Amino acid sequence: MTDLTAVDVLVNPDETTLRHARAWNARMRGSVPGGFALDASHQPHITTLQRYVRTADLDDVYDAVRRTLAATDTSTLSYRAVAIKHADWGVPGQGLAGILLEPGPPVLALQAALLAAISPFTESGGTADAFVTDPGESISRSTLDWVDGYVPAQIGPGHYTAHITVGFATLDDLATIEAEPFEAFTVRPAAVAVHQLGNSGAARRLLKTWPAPN
């Protein structure tokens, strides 16, 4: 099998959004203390595109992202944070929660451009070796399948669910959290980056980054 790397082309959000994400993560860890903390190897982020790419072609992937960003007015990229929602991630009695975002049209245009740019370097069928893992850690089947199926499941209007993952919580606690009022806010990019993925879509290892204009 070709050596593959599971990558996330993502947006690093502004500092105000990071504060929101860390506060929600602390609340999730109050529900599931063994859940992951947002830290240096679990960065809060907004996924734009996930793919298995050929490891030997990583430099070509970076160049494709760079050229795409050079052709994009990244100052127009914005999102609206509107709710806390969770997804079933195969953990009994728990859900993986995130800040749900509404992406503006330029975000969807960037996603389409990035997909076209890096598709020549992608393959399917990545294994746990494509991910960053801690000693003794296994990559979940839901994580493996999510990356393989990101295209077409999360591409374009009506499909792409923009979000910032904030951690695991029990389903009972999530029912309470999601019923609470949510004060919407605007999210803007601080940078665009390529990370190697870990379990549950965590951005574990920074591979390349490009700052967004102020």
The CB-side HSE value for 206 (13 A sphere, CA atoms) comes to: 14
pLDDT in tens, the chain (214 residues): 579 999 999 999 999 999 999 999 999 999 999 998 988 778 899 999 999 999 999 999 999 999 999 999 999 999 999 999 998 887 899 999 999 999 999 999 999 999 999 999 999 999 999 999 999 999 999 999 999 999 999 999 999 999 999 999 999 999 999 999 999 999 999 999 999 999 988 889 999 999 987 5
Decide if 159 contacts 150 (C-beta within 8 A). Answer: no
Decide if 198 contacts 135 (C-beta within 8 A). Answer: no
Tell me whether residue 140 is exposed, middle or buried, using C-beta atoms within 10 angstroms of its C-beta: 0 to 12, 13 to 18, 19 or more: middle
Question: Helix or strand or coil: residue 166?
Answer: strand
Neighbours of 4 (CB within 10 A): 23
Q: Model pTM?
A: 0.91
Structural domains in the chain plus CATH codes: 4-211 (3.90.1140.10)
CA distances from 204 to 23, 41, 82 (A): 20, 4, 26
